[in-house]
Structure 1
Amino acid sequence: MNLPSREAPDARPTKSPTKISAPVLRFGVIFLVLSLFSTLWSLASPLMSVPDEPAHTIKAAAVAHGQFLGTSGQTQGEELQVVVPKYIAETKSLTCFAFKVSVTADCSPGLNAADIEPVTAGTSAGNYNPLYYLVAGLPSRVLSGEPAIYAMRILSGLLCSLFLAAALFATTQSAHRRWPVVAAGIAATPMVLYLCGSINPNALEIVTTSAVFVNLCLVLENARDLSRVRFNIVVVGISAAVLANTRALSLLWLALAVLAALLMVPARDILLLAKDKLVLAMTGLMVLAAAGGLLWLRNANTLASLLGTPGTVTPEQAFGTMLERTFDIAASYVSQLGWLDTNGPTAVFYWWACLTGALMVSALSVGQWRPRLGFIVLAVAALIIPPVLQAQVVTDLGYIWQGRYLLPVIVPMLLAAGLALRSQTFPVTAFAKRVAAWAAGFTVAAHTAVFANALRRYGVGISTEANWGSMFGAVKWEPPLGWLPLTLAYLAVATLACALLHRHLFSDTLGDVHTDTRRGALNGADSPAPAQPRSVSSPALD
């Protein structure tokens, strides 16, 4: 009698342990680092120390409790009335230090976590699109008092970090990605990270515009083999949908991001996208979201909530004045914290001026015209948009423009400069490594100096005399966990971020361009590009 044979126990197939692909790990690391940055800023900034944070906090809590639109008398600049927990309504009383750099944050009366009864409160953001606030306000449903506000900040920071990570990760996916990665490091200014750690949709507007632009550029670069960039196609669709429903100007930023990306490739490559079902689905999502955002903007009359004092100058005078102030407001792109009252150390501005100036001049010097076209369009937009928009409202509202409003253009512009340089040789010599190491070190110092200076401003105040020594004995206000542990943690995260960036730049596995040969759609080639390294190394994120 023949019995069926039995396999030996050691002959059975075993499952190999699941390995995380390199792109997934890289995205996770970028998201983790950015989340740490935003969380540290959330803790370090006194509550309601970010511009307009009380209005956005009240709006977020109202939306989280089901009130998407407040009630108004339809008067320009009138705050809309919403119903929120009392401790949320009292956030307006926490801004005693606003516009007064010598006044420390200990003047704030604080919040009583027991004050949860519903009351009526006014907010200038009452008729803003509720999408961002629906997420940011969630902690107010389960927490109260100051812990609820900090949790709202942290959750908002995680949301913004997710989209910013999607933008920065896309720069690492390009076939020749060293210069785009350098640009990403420059574009992530202290101001961008600071806003990510606050309750303010301005941050979400910045990161989603950046995510749309860079990921769309990557998709267009791979238009002849979209299987490599499935993940990025989805990122473009979702980021665009969120952006279109963020703020009043978000649709303008979305249009600019898409236009700048499309101008960097030949029209025939754009047509290739129309054959892909996923591209068509994401395009449909973008169109529907844009229509929804426009519908909300029109029906809710969002622009009617803009606050300001009527001016006496003509629109023509306002246009000229704003054009003249182009570089004056540039400080807001780097470090203008608080209620526009706390500039970073002067050396930080000089350092970022060197970095951005060198990057922009290099982008303009690229031989082919098509790679730099997106950068030029965004640079012109950054120059013209503030004067044009300010001139339209100066009669009714006076001068209301703030530099941070333009960061959804400035950050993609710097990223576009890096993308324009992809066809240029990136030096990988020992000298270049040392230069990059010093540059990374100065960048770490600049980020940390801005962070520490903000803590000094709220801890001991800023006066005409240096008072850093007071931080070690006469500090009047400290954030949760203390100012020194937070500063050391920020220094550690900044050091880690720059060390990872430096390592990525000089990795031997990165492909790079060593000639000026025309080599693809994004470099303006009129003939099919020669074979290139894959821009995405794992199908898991395609």
Structure 2
Amino acid sequence: MRRLSPPAIFRRSAVSFTLVFAVLGLLTVLWSFASPLMSVPDESAHAIRAASVAQGQLLGNSSGQQSEQSVVTVPGYIADLRAQECYAHDAAAPAACAPGVDAGDTQLRQAETSAGNYNPVYYLFVGLPTLLLSGAPAIYGMRILSGLIGVAFLASALQAAGRLGKPKWPLAAGYVAITPMVLFLNASINPNALEIAAAAAFFMNTCVAFEKYRTLSDVKINIIMVAVSGAALANTRPVSLLWLALAAAAVVLAYGFRPLLPILRDRLSQAMIVLLGLSCAFSLAWLVIADSFKSLLGDPVDLAPDTAAAIMFDRTFDYVSGYVGVMGWLDTPLPAGVYMFWHLLMGAVLLTGLSARPVRGRFGVYLLVVAVLVVPPVMQAQVIQSLGWIWQGRYLLALVVMLLLACGVAFRFHSFPSSPWARGAAKWLLGGAVAAHGFAFVYTLRRYTVGIQDTVRWNEMFHPAWQPPFTWQLLTVAYFLVLLVGAVLVYRQLFAPALASGRKEHREPAVAAD
């Protein structure tokens, strides 16, 4: 009997940008519909900011006092978005209390936002749907546009990982880094999501440029993406310039200084360095002139900065769950099984990076580990007396994603297992990833359809108080189907005989020596 071969997309060994973009894009779109409007922290502030920038108001009106919100001009239905937050901070409250968005209320009026003096670049793009649509369709349009921009950078990061000489460990680390929280944020109106995706793309494309410095003409698209992703990263959140500097330093530590001279001599690289430099200069100028840190909201705490730093250092591991997923307005922790699965994977990736050889590859990992430990205490200590305790796990997620990718890059010279046992274990891990991602999705839907209550069981979801567009049932089925397709593609990528280039994996002599 003739054996049927799988469809072509499942036989591909290359890391196709189009396929990765399609899978992650579909997951992002499904999340954007599954999450009620304004269900992500500070989403209303960012939506108002995006609509005002689209109207041409690059900077909100404010006296410049700490914690004072800026006043901007937006369509009426955007100005009323805070009414959608009636269920925020209460996991037992379903989203049914949220009023409808009046698509007819397009008269311009004033609204307040805590993001009124943030860098306008992200908002300039994300606010475009408000010029073409109104009401809920405009909000979903902003979400989807923001998400697809982020997905493009995530796909670029994974494609760049596939271009390394030994790409399988970096790819595996990259897929581990795409946690439920990354997808949840990416489906919202929040520059934090673009920051995470752009940081991943900048780090991985820079790694490709450094590894392929002898043949830069073969990696022109990666060199361009270094500048594009770096420019996007620099112009997302006020702290993003620090992530950019740490990413560049980590790559240099991992690969050494030898690739720098050929890169600096390359014409395309020179042009991209100028572009990146101008983007960073604009970001820094905006940060200083607009004083973006002054818009942060919080309640002052009378505590010495060194004491606050010590407390934050003690709480380091309390924020790890935020890298995996704390949904809603930090009111919906995911089930313990989801955390256990991702903590296991993230711990394993970190262990590979810390034990990798050659030793030089670890230097970038060491830098990022220190940054993950030190940055939160230092930053929180600076604002404790003016803003109080404001730190959230998601604030560090861009750095955590880069750390996981750096571990994969450091470990890439170790053989990727391909025995029957390894393939079987990989199938179980991918099945676990599908289950963990899917469970996080359904659990978040449960929180909004019926609320998380001790007296409410799963069967109550079939009599929901709130329904997302297309119903939670259809969204859930679609989400699991896309996850399954993605898992099959990942398996084919990791266990194909030769990945991406069609050549046997090789050792890059310039970066392999201790």
- Shared fold per TM-score greater than 0.5: yes
Is the counterpart of residue 435 in structure 1 residue 425 in structure 2?
yes
* Deviation readout 1:158-201 (Å, 9 max, x if unpaired): 11111111111111111211111110110000100111100000
Shift of the alpha carbon at 1:244? 1.1
Per-residue deviation, residues 417-447 of structure 1 (Å, max 9, x unmatched): 1111111011101111100000000000000
- 1:471 — aligned with what? 461
> Which AA in structure 2 matches 1:506?
F
* 1:522 counterpart letter in structure 2: V
Match of 1:278 in 2: 268
Q: Is the 8 A contact 1:425 1:512 kept in 2?
A: no
Provide the rounded CA distance (Å) in 2 between the counterparts of 1:512 and 1:479: 48
Question: Distance in 1 between the 2:275 and 2:42 partners?
Answer: 31
- The aligned length equals 500
Cα distance between partner residues in 2 of 1:364 and 1:251: 26
Match of 2:106 among 116, 126, 143: 116
Q: Which runs of 5+ in 2 are unaligned?
A: 1-11
Given that residues 266 and 524 in structure 1 are in contact (C-alpha distance below 8 angstroms), is that contact kept between their aligned partners in structure 2? no
2:204 alignment partner in structure 1 = 214
- Separation in 1, partners of 2:117, 2:460: 44
The residue type equivalent to 1:358 in the other structure is A
- Aligned residue among 92, 101, 109 for 1:102: 92
Contact 1:426 1:513 in 2 (8 A): no
Question: For 1:246, what is the secondary structure of its paired residue?
Answer: coil
SS of the residue corresponding to residue 424 of structure 1 reads coil
Which amino acid in 1 is paired with 2:217?
S
Q: Which secondary structure does the structure 2 equivalent of 1:478 belong to?
A: coil
Amino acid aligned to 1:486: L
Structure 1 counterpart SS, 2:476: helix
Q: 2:319 aligns with which of 317, 329, 336?
A: 329
Provide the C-alpha distance between the structure 2 equivalents of 1:107 and 1:266, rounded to a whole number of angstroms: 56
Aligned-residue offset at 1:110: 1.7
Cα deviation code 1:2-53 (max 9, x no counterpart): xxxxxxxxxxxxxxxxxxxx89981111111111111111100000000000
Equivalent position of 1:488 in the other structure: 477
Question: In the aligned structure 2, how far is the partner of 1:520 from the partner of 1:126?
Answer: 50
Query: Which amino acid is 2:465 matched to?
Result: K
User: Unaligned 5+ residue runs, structure 1?
Assistant: 1-21, 526-542
Higher helix proportion (structure 1 or 2): 2
The 1:524–1:373 alpha-carbon spacing in structure 2 relative to 1, beyond 3 Å, is farther
Matched-pair contact (CA < 8 Å) for 2:41–2:330: yes
Please report the TM-score for the alignment, with normalisation by the length of structure 2.
0.95
- For residues 110 and 325 of structure 1, the distance between their equivalents in structure 2, rounded to whole angstroms, comes to 40
2:38 is matched with which residue? 48
Match of 2:115 in 1: 125
Aligned residues of 1:105 and 1:458 also touching (Cα < 8 A): yes
Mapped to 2, the partners of 1:507 and 1:138 lie a distance apart of 41
Asked if 2 retains the 8 angstrom alpha-carbon contact of 1:263 and 1:374, the reply is yes
Matched, 1:93 2:51: no
**Could you tell me the percent identity over the aligned residues?**
48
Look up the equivalent residue of 2:490 and give its one-letter code.
L
**Shift of residue 520, structure 1, vs aligned partner:** 2.5
Match of 1:444 among 418, 434, 443: 434
User: Whole-Å Cα distance in 1 between the matches of residues 407 and 14 of structure 2?
Assistant: 26
TM-score, length-normalised on structure 1? 0.90
Q: Which amino acid aligns with 2:200?
A: S
d(CA) in 2 for partners of 1:184, 1:294: 29
- Are positions 1:390 and 2:380 aligned together? yes
Of 493, 496, 507, the residue aligned with 2:496 is 507
- 1:384-404, CA deviations, whole angstroms, 9 ceiling, x for partnerless residues? 100000001101110101110
TM-aligned CA deviation for residue 512 of structure 1: 6.6
The answer as to 2:163 corresponding to 1:168 is no
CA contact (8 A) 2:13 2:496 kept: no
Given candidates 2, 14, 23, the residue that maps to 1:33 is 23
The residue type paired with residue 141 of structure 2 is A
Other structure's SS at 1:329 match: helix
| Cα RMSD for the two superposed structures | 1.4
Query: What is residue 535 of structure 1 aligned with on the other side?
Result: none
Paired residues of 2:14 and 2:162 also in contact (CA < 8 A): no
Q: How far apart in 2 are the matches of 1:407 and 1:523? A: 29
What is the deviation of 1:524? 3.7
Instruction: For residue 519 of structure 1, report the CA deviation from its aligned partner.
Output: 4.5
- Say which of 188, 191, 201 aligns to 1:201: 191
Match runs of 1:30-429 below 5 Å: 30-429=20-419
Larger radius of gyration: 1
Q: Secondary structure at the match of 1:129?
A: coil
Alpha-carbon distance in 2 for matches of 1:149, 1:221: 42
What is the rounded CA distance, in whole Å, between the counterparts of 1:361 and 1:261 in structure 2?
19
